[in-house]
Amino acid sequence: MSATFESLGLSPESLATLRRARFEAPTPIQSQAIPPALAGRDVVGCAATGTGKTAAFLLPLMERFRGQEGTRGLVLAPTRELVMQIAEQARFFGEAHGLRHAVVIGGEDMNAQVEALKQQPTFILATPGRLVDLLSTKSVNLSRVEGLVLDEADRMLDMGFQQQLEEILKVLPKQHQTLLFSATLGHDVTEFAQRQLRKPVRVEVTPSGTPAARAAQKLYVVKQDEKYAMLLTLLKRDEASVLVFAATKQRADKVLKALKREGYKAAAIHSDRTQNQRKQALEGFSRGQYRCLVATDIAARGLDVEEIGHVINFDLPHSPEDYVHRIGRTARAGASGLASTFATEDDAERLKEIERIIRARIPRAEVPRRDATFVAELERFYAAQKDPGPPQPDHGVSGKRPGEPLGRHARSHGKPQAQAPAKPERRVRTSDEDEGRAPRRAPLPPGRMDARQQRDARGASPRRLEAAEGRSEGRRQGVRGEGRGALGKARGGGKPGKSFAAGGGSKGFGARGAGGGPRRSGPASGGPRKGPGGGGRGGGRAPGGRR
């Protein structure tokens, strides 16, 4: 004999609400989880998304806490979207009992949330991160909480919320009821439940890791370049609403761009989107404004959209368990659905892990490489890859100098472009170049002398000229000289050096190497004169000088 809501022990108010919502009979998870939850027992429930588990934990807690003051129930979920979905049902079921709730999630005004918490709502629906933030500022009081719900517990642990969960559990009363629900019961979830729950009742509607039974699965082994053509081919085969899963935010944006380019009404949700953008995308998808919704695994955890006819795994998930969650987005509440998965040869190991988790081999489907639609879409994809798009203005920020080749942002695309005149070089072609020898520099204009000729004209002594040549040679060796005195070979060192330059009154430049040591210089012969000295690796020495 099948169970009824009346046989579960629910109040007349709850039964009237269920009839108003046209809930005719409880789902398996509801019929098995509600009675022990009403009795105050801890519960571990394993059920896929879309099986009615939200009502399975909200209804018994509302029955228990009606008429009581203060915050009595706390519901934690991994994502903002999932919390908002739970809030919709909490509002619907709570009206019959006069129960209020507050939503505490990231991306929303924290001050408004603090004001809502001051009203002492019966339930707090929260993400772990934002709740811990409020606990750190003592803006929330959980001392009277009697019932804790951990929804999508496996995902919260996967996302690294274990530390936050333990911080929250520390401030809760020791004698509280815990209802833990998860689509998979892996090692981490089982170990966490053993530590935190007290003799829980285990309710497992379907074996852990089993995908939705009514979801027909297909696997297409494709090349990476064929994924877009395969996606567009599947979209043209039926008119069902489609949820496309991508592995990364960047891939999700690329898929969204490709869909819009083909004229499909589509939106995307991932962690880089603002809360308002994600909310608008979800609402538009639920209302039918968008046929396609592109999502990453984390963002899609809060999806509670009925009548998703087709789930397409554009990329395999990073975690094998996420495959179960993805498939659970279609074939909800007894409806049928289709799940198509794209995999490349490089995905072989991950595919084996997925099939091990679901205890089944995903049926292979033939890639329609001879189908006219597939061929046309693939050709359009390759054409789009070759076409860099319209030329972009440089705006003077490309770093290109006049006369240099045009870069990516200033392609001509077949159009003639005005070339800036090249900067003239100050040299002349000589017969040396014609014979393959290195070209000579252009002669100086009449009346101009180079540096050496100027020194000779001033009557510079041979010794000073020798010192200048030594300094020049030292600089070419990567070491600065020890003064306008002589600079000889660069020596390793690293110790501070003193320089005594030949030639009175000259300002000394001590050797400076890679050591970066302190610099100091001694007096030059002929009179003391301070100058920046040098130390470090490679101190120089010239005749008559010492370090």
What does the H/E/C string look like for 477-522? CCCCCCCCCCCCCEECCCCCECCCCCCCCCCCCCCCCCCCCCCCCC
Whole-angstrom Cα distance, residue 38 to residue 57?
A: 9
Given a cut of 90, whether residue 363 has pLDDT beyond it is: yes
Span of 228-232, 297-301, 313-317 with lowest mean pLDDT:
297-301
Whole-angstrom Cα distance, residue 443 to residue 358?
A: 83
Three-class DSSP category at 447: coil
Q: Are strands 364-365 and 337-343 parallel, antiparallel or unpaired?
A: unpaired
Q: Are 26 and 3 in contact (CB under 8 A)?
A: yes
Three-class DSSP category at 399: coil
The pLDDT-based confidence of 16 (bands split at 50, 70, 90) is very high
pLDDT at residue 205, as a whole number: 78
The pLDDT-based confidence of 276 (bands split at 50, 70, 90) is confident
Whole-angstrom Cα distance, residue 41 to residue 35?
A: 9
Whole-angstrom Cα distance, residue 219 to residue 241?
A: 19
DSSP state of 183: S
Across 226-380, the runs of DSSP E, i.e. the strands, are: 242-245, 266-269, 292-295, 310-313, 337-343, 364-365
pLDDT at residue 209, as a whole number: 54
Whole-angstrom Cα distance, residue 485 to residue 492?
A: 20
pLDDT at residue 289, as a whole number: 93
Span of 297-311, 379-393, 469-483 with lowest mean pLDDT:
469-483
Given a cut of 80, whether residue 159 has pLDDT beyond it is: yes
Whole-angstrom Cα distance, residue 501 to residue 61?
A: 92
Whole-angstrom Cα distance, residue 193 to residue 176?
A: 14
Given a cut of 70, whether residue 446 has pLDDT beyond it is: no
CA–CA distances in Å: residue 60 to residues 43, 177, 412: 12, 11, 69
pLDDT at residue 433, as a whole number: 40
pLDDT at residue 415, as a whole number: 47
Given a cut of 80, whether residue 336 has pLDDT beyond it is: no
Mean pLDDT confidence for 39-61? 89
Query: 68: which residues sit within 8 A by CB, 6+ positions away?
Result: 122
CA–CA distances in Å: residue 446 to residues 25, 48, 163, 301, 453: 107, 92, 81, 82, 13
Whole-angstrom Cα distance, residue 227 to residue 221?
A: 9
Residue 481, both tokens: 């000289």
The pLDDT-based confidence of 536 (bands split at 50, 70, 90) is very low
- Mean pLDDT of all residues belonging to the chain: 77
* 112 or 329, greater pLDDT: 112
pLDDT at residue 238, as a whole number: 85
* 411 or 32, greater pLDDT: 32
Q: Which range among 149-158, 325-334, 472-481, 508-517 has the greatest average pLDDT?
A: 149-158
Given a cut of 80, whether residue 142 has pLDDT beyond it is: yes
Number of H helices, E strands in the chain: 19, 16
Q: Are 210 and 184 in contact (CB under 8 A)?
A: no
The pLDDT-based confidence of 526 (bands split at 50, 70, 90) is very low
Query: 225: which residues sit within 8 A by CB, 6+ positions away?
Result: 378, 381, 382
Mean pLDDT confidence for 330-342? 78
Residue 474, both tokens: 């030292």
3-state helix, strand and coil shares in percent for the chain, rounded to the nearest 5? 40, 15, 50
Given a cut of 50, whether residue 384 has pLDDT beyond it is: yes
- Domains annotated for the chain, with CATH where assigned, are 5-204 (3.40.50.300), 215-383 (3.40.50.300)
Given a cut of 60, whether residue 396 has pLDDT beyond it is: no
Whole-angstrom Cα distance, residue 131 to residue 110?
A: 10
The pLDDT-based confidence of 331 (bands split at 50, 70, 90) is low
Q: Which range among 250-259, 378-387, 411-420 has the greatest average pLDDT?
A: 250-259
User: Percentage of the chain surpassing pLDDT 70?
Assistant: 66
Whole-angstrom Cα distance, residue 481 to residue 524?
A: 14
At 83, give phi and psi (nearest 5°): -60, -40
Span of 132-141, 216-225, 273-282 with lowest mean pLDDT:
273-282
The pLDDT-based confidence of 305 (bands split at 50, 70, 90) is confident
The pLDDT-based confidence of 388 (bands split at 50, 70, 90) is low
Given a cut of 90, whether residue 406 has pLDDT beyond it is: no
The pLDDT-based confidence of 545 (bands split at 50, 70, 90) is very low
* 320 or 355, greater pLDDT: 355
pLDDT at residue 541, as a whole number: 43
pLDDT at residue 434, as a whole number: 41
The pLDDT-based confidence of 525 (bands split at 50, 70, 90) is very low
Whole-angstrom Cα distance, residue 375 to residue 220?
A: 16
pLDDT at residue 229, as a whole number: 95
Given a cut of 70, whether residue 37 has pLDDT beyond it is: yes
Given a cut of 60, whether residue 494 has pLDDT beyond it is: no
Q: Are 239 and 310 in contact (CB under 8 A)?
A: no
Residue 426, both tokens: 């100050």
Given a cut of 70, whether residue 422 has pLDDT beyond it is: no
Given a cut of 80, whether residue 22 has pLDDT beyond it is: yes
With vertex at residue 305, the alpha carbon angle to CA 304 and CA 309, rounded to the nearest 5 degrees, is 130
Across 137-227, the runs of DSSP E, i.e. the strands, are: 147-150, 177-182, 201-204, 215-221
Quick check: pTM over 0.75? Answer: no
Span of 269-273, 300-304, 328-332 with lowest mean pLDDT:
300-304
User: Percentage of the chain surpassing pLDDT 90?
Assistant: 46
Mean pLDDT confidence for 478-498? 43
Query: 318: which residues sit within 8 A by CB, 6+ positions away?
Result: 247, 297
User: What is the 3-state secondary structure of 42-88?
Assistant: CEEEECCCCCCHHHHHHHHHHHHHCCCCCCCEEEECCCHHHHHHHHH
